[in-house]
Amino acid sequence: MAVTGILGKKIGMTQVFDEKGDVHPITVLQAGPCVITQLKTLAKDGYDAAQIGLVEFIKTKNVTKPQAGHFAKTEAPPVKVIKEVDVEASTDGEAETKAGDRVLVDIFTNAKFVDVIGTSKGRGFAGVVRRHKFGGGPKSHGHMFQVQGSIGASSFPSRVFPGQRMPGHMGAAQITVRNLRIRGIDVEENLLMVEGAVPGSREGYVLISKAKTPPRERRGFAGSGTVDPLKASKKATAKRK
């Protein structure tokens, strides 16, 4: 079995240019290093998964005795953040994964797309204009333009429907962004560069995994493995002549 995901941190955003001169927004992620703290099997636990932890400096006094005993079973270093990730069948020539092994960014060497799970920025208590993008009322004198207006008539339905969009807590929710294209991997520094935005603030923890439903590479669209229709037509014309 091989691990399909890794824990990391969001470093920040930048931009890169491809060979055609097009600019791409990039999010840089510190992917790992991680350690496998436990392997869960179908026979013992009812499902196959790997429990991994992000290797960071953590004071010994901040590790509880149950946690210390759990890490001692696999001789893993104490970690602060632990998550479970899926496992896949190992390919030919690949060593079998076991508890205590390191998980590095090189697991995405042959991958093109990743899914990233993070916690969005907390916005506190917000009104409907900011939280749900309501237009608001008149902005002239004497009007409270940032209120939502009527939420339920008195004759019918004489109540407020469940799920009514109203002011409330905004942000600080788990967000999953799927199919972010990998634009670069730095194995030495454990850096992963993906195209697009990733939820959360800088230094926020994220879970990066191989895309479960990667998009099909179609002809005429940008990206590695695609065919440039203009070049293909020129080649075909040259062969006919």
pLDDT at 221 exceeding the cut of 60: no
Three-class SS state of 196 = coil
Query: Is there a domain that residue 112 lies in?
Result: yes
> Tokens 């990233």 appear where?
116
| Together in a domain, 104 and 12 | yes
Q: What is the pLDDT of residue 71?
A: 86
* Residue 165 shares a structural domain with residue 177: no
- Please check whether residue 16 is in contact with residue 26, taking contact to mean a CB–CB distance below 8 angstroms: yes
Quote the number of domains for the chain. Answer: 2
Q: Do 112 and 20 share a structural domain? A: yes
pLDDT one-digit tens code per residue, 60-91: 888 889 888 888 888 888 888 899 988 887 76
Q: Which residue has the higher pLDDT, 233 or 61?
A: 61
Kindly state whether residues 56 and 166 are assigned to the same domain.
no
Q: How far is CA 18 from CA 24, 53, 92, 160, in A?
A: 8, 34, 33, 53
pLDDT at 125 over 90: yes
Give the chain's mean pLDDT.
85
| 78-92, 128-142, 224-238: which is most confident | 128-142
pTM: 0.78
Domain containing 37 equals 2-122+173-214
The verdict on 106 and 131 lying in the same domain is: no
Q: Is residue 179 part of a domain?
A: yes
pLDDT the model gives residue 38: 87
